[in-house]
Structure 1
Amino acid sequence: MICSSISALAGLTVVAGTVGLASAGAAPVSAPTFWSNTQAGPEAGMADAVAVSAITGSPNIVVVGSSPRLTDTAARISPSDCLGAWRPGQQQAYAGRPWIATVTTVLADGKDADAQHIVQETVVQFGSPTDARRYLQDSAAQWEACAQRVVTVVPPSGASRPWRLGQPATAAGAPMTLSQVGPTSRCERALAAKADMVIDVLVCSSVDDPVGQGAVLIDAIATQSKS
């Protein structure tokens, strides 16, 4: 079961038996402009359910939510300075940055407690490639400061849950990744700067270790955005 990851995932609320994205205050609502397939909507630029199923090994992955806003769960996370390392697309992590547009898609292979895999894809467009790279560099320092720390998540209901963050892995030309271990599931965060965009993702599983899947997902999104 991966219910704890779904209900605690950045900006997510469990609504009407499925997963939905909660809005998080005022933020640019336009989608990033790097997608060519704009008639199909901004989600067309993300890795779709077929691609995510191949990455996770789960045949039942579907899109369960999307949002054109960053999310804010700072009040539910301690320490809050590790919020950006813990989950993608957080307002606090992007506050004061020169970003101009964002979109998030969430996919899962079940409803609520039945889901064994959940994936969040967030893309944030900056004013220039330099701004995107600077955000990546600053995030690397912040992830390093949170390495091996325990993040306590307080869900809307139920007991608080600890998540242990791993050591961030960085290599030239590759996405930055960070493993996370929770009470009943494991996740991989991954972050990369591609042109003027930052691709910010999370892959969680309650049945296997998603190590390496976050980096593959970033490459799939980068490829899709150019199609």
Structure 2
Amino acid sequence: MTNGSAVAADHDGPRPVATSMLPRLLLEPAAISDIMRSPGMHVDGSRTKMIDSSSEFPDYDCVVAWMPVERSVYADSGWTATAAKSLSDISPKGFVIEAATAFNTRDAARSFFDEIASHWSSCGDRTFTSTRPGHADTLWTFDKVTNVDSTLWMSQTPDDSPEWTCQRALRVSNNIAIDVLTCKDYGDDEAVTIVNAIDARLPSI
């Protein structure tokens, strides 16, 4: 059942995940704290709309890899609903955005992923500038993009704070796009770990 209406199961896998389940797919602060190795992670905000951060990232072609659930990235993709949470801690400093977005079918989600993967691949091993009103511009280095088992990920590091490491990860599983950003000092594979944990909550039938 999706949006309150019955939807036939795909012949080669589980039924599409209902949009009502999206908030329950996201990890709780305690789980995020464990993954981030930061005991005070707390929810700063929850949303059911896309993020528009394009004004912070002038390179339109690679805003696709900049921020989860970016409005311009998901536009015209056929998504039906999204749930997202931002979490942070100040000591040690950490930041997370986790999001789950539904499509009507597995095929629609897969088409979205294939399109996004082609754009991500051209954004790795490059530098970009982000802008924020009242702040100096920041030069970022995007590392090589990895694409394995329907999962994309890359590390992103600001040149003025090389110890501050962000990781972006995106996976499509069933009809759900799992979209995550993690940032912390000396970060590693936190975003991929969160993606794996959210994916494990998807129903298997």
TM-score w.r.t. the length of structure 2 is: 0.84
1:19 counterpart residue number: none
Q: For residues 160 and 115 of structure 1, what CA distance do their matches in structure 2 show?
A: 24
Q: How does 1:1-227 map to 2 (within 5 A)?
A: 34=17, 43-110=23-90, 116-171=93-148, 173=149, 175-182=151-158, 183-184=160-161, 185-205=164-184, 207-209=185-187, 211-226=188-203
Q: CA deviation at 1:78?
A: 2.2
Q: CA deviation at 1:115?
A: 6.3
Q: For residues 222 and 63 of structure 1, what CA distance do their matches in structure 2 show?
A: 20
Q: For residues 175 and 52 of structure 1, what CA distance do their matches in structure 2 show?
A: 19
Report how many residues are paired: 187
Report Cα offsets for 1:103-158 as digits up to 9, x if no partner.
11011113xxx661100011111111011111111111101111122221111321
Asked which structure has the greater CA Rg, the reply is 2
User: Does the C-alpha gap of structure 1 residues 72 and 218 become closer, same or farther in structure 2, counting only changes over 3 Å?
Assistant: same
Q: CA deviation at 1:35?
A: 6.3
Report Cα offsets for 1:51-109 as digits up to 9, x if no partner.
11111111111111111000112122121211111111101111111110011101111
Task: Give the aligned residue type for 2:169.
Answer: A
Q: For residues 166 and 107 of structure 2, what CA distance do their matches in structure 1 show?
A: 29
Q: For residues 60 and 35 of structure 1, what CA distance do their matches in structure 2 show?
A: 31
Q: Which runs of 5+ in 2 are unaligned?
A: 4-15
Other structure's SS at 1:81 match? helix
Q: For residues 165 and 50 of structure 1, what CA distance do their matches in structure 2 show?
A: 29
User: Does the C-alpha gap of structure 1 residues 58 and 115 become closer, same or farther in structure 2, counting only changes over 3 Å?
Assistant: closer
Q: For residues 39 and 55 of structure 2, what CA distance do their matches in structure 1 show?
A: 35
Q: For residues 76 and 64 of structure 1, what CA distance do their matches in structure 2 show?
A: 20
Q: For residues 196 and 51 of structure 2, what CA distance do their matches in structure 1 show?
A: 23
* Residue pair 2:22, 2:100 contacting (<8 A) in 1 also: no
Q: In proportion to residue count, which structure has more helix? A: 1
Task: Give the aligned residue type for 2:95.
Answer: I
Other structure's SS at 1:83 match? helix
Q: Which runs of 5+ in 1 are unaligned?
A: 1-29
User: Does the C-alpha gap of structure 1 residues 175 and 121 become closer, same or farther in structure 2, counting only changes over 3 Å?
Assistant: same
